[in-house]
Structure 1
Amino acid sequence: MGLKEVILVVSIIIALVVAIPVIIDNHKMIKEMEEFLDQKNGRNRK
């Protein structure tokens, strides 16, 4: 493998390591937001 391929693989690994916790956090935040909106809109729906 050339230097470009090594740099590409390393950057992809770093991106994955950084992205996975962020995605998990965003998923939690989205769930909390949906629950919050459901609570807010609960009165309006009934």
Structure 2
Amino acid sequence: MIFAFSTAILYGGYFGSEENSLSITNQIIWWIFFAYSVIRIISIIVKRNRI
């Protein structure tokens, strides 16, 4: 959970300040991290609702 929030914060700061200076490869890596964090949050919420 902490990892997901920290990734979201870093993602926001990344696109807010360095969007033009980073390469497409770095953007793809950041999208993968962001998507992974979103999936983690959704899976945690689903597991808690089942219990």
TM-score (norm 1): 0.54
In structure 2, the partner of 1:22 is 31
Aligned residues between the structures: 29
Return the offset for 1:15. 3.2
Identity of aligned residues (%): 10
Relative contact order, higher structure (CA 8 A, sep 6+)? 2
Question: Which of 24, 36, 39 is the equivalent residue of 2:45?
Answer: 36
TM-score (norm 2): 0.50
Q: Please, what is the CA RMSD of the aligned residues? A: 1.0
